[in-house]
Amino acid sequence: MRAVIIYNSLTGTTEKAAFRIASELKALRVDAEPVAIDDVDESTVADVDLVIVGTWTDGIVVMGQKPAGRKKLRNLPSLAGRKAVVYCTYAVDPGRTLDKLVALVEEKGAEVIGGFALVRHDLAADVSEFVDRLTPALVD
């Protein structure tokens, strides 16, 4: 199985999560490659079985949270026919960031099969749980 982890990071937390996800997937014998959103083109998503899209949570701490970089997300190449999973990183409360991120990725044509919010102060544990929940989808 081949997976690409497309990430949008401001402070490095979402990037760190992408590389941790790739490492854990590689331990499960998944060919996983993290790619910064600015480096994504059609070849990035060609011949992959799973697209993982991650971004950080933007907005006021208690309201108005949304996926950061929505314009960049809307400019991703078509994900038609691809399964996708999404994640967001956050400090206090992700609000509806995941729901909004799912909608953006579905607009690109992907079938979103799951999502997870990763709190930045416990990134390692949350990434492990995210990959554990993702594992059943890796055998399909």
CB 114 within 8 A of CB 133: yes
> 34 pLDDT exceeds 90?
yes
Contacts of residue 13, Cβ cutoff 8 Å, sequence gap at least 6: 56, 89, 120, 123
- Bridge partners, 116 (sequence order): 87
For residues 102 and 110, what is the distance between their CA atoms, to the nearest angstrom? 9
> 72 pLDDT exceeds 80?
yes
Phi, psi of 6 (to 5 degrees): -95, 125
> 68 pLDDT exceeds 80?
no
pLDDT given at position 92: 87
CB 87 within 8 A of CB 117: yes
Domains of the chain: 2-138 (3.40.50.360)
